Structure 1
Amino acid sequence: MAVSLQKGQKISLSKEAGGDLTQVKLGLGWDVAQAPQDKKGGFLGKLFGGGSGGDSIDLDASCIMFDSNKQPVDAIWFSQLKSKDGSIVHTGDNRTGDGDGDDEVINVDLSKVPANVVSLVFTVNSFTGQTFETVENAFCRIVNANNNTEVARYNLSSQGTHTAMIMAKVYRHNNEWKMHAIGETATGRTFHDLMPAITPHA
């Protein structure tokens, strides 16, 4: 059974998975907050490329790779869906209208992450500029891609006037990978805008 993380909690991914983890998926998801007069409903995925007029909201997941000096090495986001070394691949925007489950997925081959990379920070931005008042039930989860079992989940109470969130960090510690639930709010349309807020967590 997956660990349900609290803000600030840190876990060993291999310990929770019951063995070495090499292939993991980081899934990120959100619901669209329901106004009382809004009967359309639906998950965020239904609004990608859809919705009526100004109702559409485009949230984007990103992953920034850092070295031991907290310097960014690479970034994986909608304009670069694969890390230069090939260890991390973003599946792209969810525009299929699927309901339950992950709205965006970032696949990580931990065995191929370069040795100089010590942490991976995962963020979500409102590219269309709406605040998280329009979002509820935000979560991120780590899935063991080898057997598709969920290792850890972090549910976020994310509603507010911010337009971004620093979700979680996966990092090396004593030759193993750990996960740190961050859940810090921020403001920005892309991860570039968040770098001053992200770097202290790296």
Structure 2
Amino acid sequence: MAINLSKGQKVDLTKTNPGLSKITVGLGWDTNKYDGGKDFDLDVSLFLTNAEGKVEGEKNFVFFNNPQNENGSVVHTGDNRTGEGDGDDEQVKIELSAVPANIEKIAFTITIYEATERSQNFGQVSRAYARIVNDVNNEEIIRFDLGEDFSVETGVVVGELYRNAGEWKFNAIGSGYKDGLAGLCRDYGVN
């Protein structure tokens, strides 16, 4: 049975699930009805950071145009440009045991493509969530529903997988960014 997390909650991933190695992180959302006349395209990006919280090299910034890190242990499965339908809108496959040793944290973010130009923000997004599934048995281990706490933000740090004493943990963050992808790239050290 999945553990439902609240904002700010941290949970052991590998310690409480011995042998867990291959996971899928699914992220999903719906957009509220609005009359802006433009498509609503949300994108998942991952920042694979060192101990200082910074990305070393462009291959450690994973998104639809750079779908995997240098050794293929983190793979973005593709861009969903509409968010239509039920279930995950975008997914990331991770082989935890193969993530390079210099990667201490994997931050999962969602941004709105061309948010400023299209006058869109996370106040128009509902039912956003992240979930972690064990690939071996397809069991949902963790679920984090972001809630409706956003208004003018155009980017959100959903959560982070991070190493602690040789084990992987998950931190449910749910923190918004008014300057979207540009702000996230700045803070994670991507030029």
Q: Unaligned regions of 5+ residues in structure 1, if any?
A: 39-52
Given that 2:30 and 2:127 are in contact with CA atoms closer than 8 Å, whether structure 1 keeps it comes out as yes
1:21 positional shift: 1.4
Given that 1:59 and 1:128 are in contact with CA atoms closer than 8 Å, whether structure 2 keeps it comes out as no
**1:164 maps to amino acid:** G
1:146 positional shift: 1.4
Distance in 1 (alpha carbons) for counterparts of 2:28 and 2:73: 22
Tell me what 2:138 maps to.
Answer: 148
Distance in 2 (alpha carbons) for counterparts of 1:136 and 1:152: 19
Q: Secondary structure at the match of 2:14?
A: helix
Distance in 2 (alpha carbons) for counterparts of 1:54 and 1:179: 37
Where does 1:1-202 land on structure 2 (aligned, <5 Å)? 1-16=1-16, 18-34=17-33, 54-73=37-56, 74-94=60-80, 99-129=85-115, 130-158=120-148, 159-190=150-181, 192-197=182-187
Question: 1:7-42 CA distances to partner (integer Å, 9 max, x unpaired)?
Answer: 1100011244x322111111110011135xx8xxxx
1:147 positional shift: 1.1
Q: CA, structure 1 residues 96+196, in 2 after alignment: closer, same or farther (shift >3 Å)? A: closer
1:139 positional shift: 0.4
Which aligned runs of 4 or more in structure 1 are off by greater than 6 angstroms?
none
1:198 positional shift: 5.0
Distance in 2 (alpha carbons) for counterparts of 1:2 and 1:153: 6
1:70 positional shift: 2.1
**TM-score under structure 1 normalisation?**
0.82
Q: Unaligned regions of 5+ residues in structure 2, if any?
A: none
Given that 2:55 and 2:188 are in contact with CA atoms closer than 8 Å, whether structure 1 keeps it comes out as no
1:94 positional shift: 2.1
**TM-score under structure 2 normalisation?**
0.87
Given that 1:125 and 1:188 are in contact with CA atoms closer than 8 Å, whether structure 2 keeps it comes out as no
Structure with the higher fraction of residues in helix conformation:
1
Q: CA, structure 1 residues 97+175, in 2 after alignment: closer, same or farther (shift >3 Å)? A: closer
**2:40 maps to amino acid:** I
Q: Secondary structure at the match of 2:37?
A: helix
Q: CA, structure 1 residues 66+170, in 2 after alignment: closer, same or farther (shift >3 Å)? A: same
* Aligned-CA RMSD value: 2.0
Given that 1:30 and 1:103 are in contact with CA atoms closer than 8 Å, whether structure 2 keeps it comes out as yes
Given that 1:75 and 1:83 are in contact with CA atoms closer than 8 Å, whether structure 2 keeps it comes out as yes
Given that 2:121 and 2:151 are in contact with CA atoms closer than 8 Å, whether structure 1 keeps it comes out as yes
Matched-pair identity in %: 39
